[in-house]
Amino acid sequence: MAYVKTERVKDGIFEICFFHEAQNSLPSEILNQLAWSIKDAGHNPEIKVIILKSGGDRTFCAGASFTELIAIQDFESGQKFFTGFAHVINAIRTCGKIVIGRVQGKAIGGGVGLASAVDYCFATHQSSVKLSELSVGIGPFVVGPAVQRKIGLSAFSQMTLNATELYSAQWAKEKGLYAETFETIEEMDAAIMALAEKLENSNPEALSLLKGIFWEGTENWDALLFERAGVSGKLVLSDFTKKALASFVGKA
pLDDT digits (tens, 9 = 90+) for 195-240: 999 999 999 999 999 999 999 999 999 999 999 999 999 999 999 9
Is residue 197 assigned to a domain?
no
3-10 and 13-19: which strand pairing? antiparallel
Is residue 30 assigned to a domain?
yes
What span, in angstroms and rounded, lies between the C-alpha atoms of 169 and 182?
Answer: 10
Side-by-side strand order, sheet with 3-10: 3-10, 13-19, 49-54, 98-103, 120-124, 180-182
| CATH number for 172 | 3.90.226.10
Say if pTM beats, i.e. exceeds, 0.75: yes
Task: Supply the range of the domain harboring residue 49.
Answer: 3-184
pLDDT digits (tens, 9 = 90+) for 70-82: 999 999 999 999 9
Is residue 159 assigned to a domain?
yes
Is residue 221 assigned to a domain?
no
pLDDT digits (tens, 9 = 90+) for 30-50: 999 999 999 999 999 999 999
Asked whether residue 252 carries a pLDDT value surpassing 90, the answer given is: no
